[in-house]
Amino acid sequence: WHCKLSLAQEDQKRISQIERDNKKLIENLAAIQRGPARVDCWNECLHRRSKSDKQNRKIMTITVENHGLLKKLDNSKPTYDQKKFEMEWQARNLVIKPTNLFSLAEHEAF
């Protein structure tokens, strides 16, 4: 008898706990239906989304700045005379070539 009585008491306690929880839930549901709309659970993903939005804005700002710099580069004129540069480069190459030929001839002799 004693075991059956204690099992019945435990079952009764569990049932009464479930009934109390159900009563609280019903009261909460009734309060939600009666009252104004409230948010009781905030989505944490919104914070992450705002961080990515901030990164996207920063990337867009950099992209706009880069396009501005590209336009400046496209519209700029050269600051040196290309013909003068070519003539100086060829003059330097003429001086370098004979010394290279001389050093090659020395290596072949040894």
Domain regions of the chain by residue span: 1-96
Residue 55 has pLDDT above 70, yes or no: yes
**Could you give the percent of the chain with pLDDT greater than 90?**
30
Over residues 54-63, the mean pLDDT reads: 92
pLDDT single digits (tens) 60-78: 999 999 999 999 999 988 7
Q: Pseudo-torsion of CA 32, 34, 38, 39, nearest 10°?
A: 20
Distance, CA of 58 to CA of 46 (rounded, Å): 18
Structure tokens at 91: 């003059």
Question: Is 0.75 surpassed by the pTM of this model?
Answer: no
Q: How far apart are the first and last CA of the chain?
A: 118
Which residue, chain included where needed, has tokens 């009934």? 19
Distance of CA 64 to the CA centre of its chain: 18
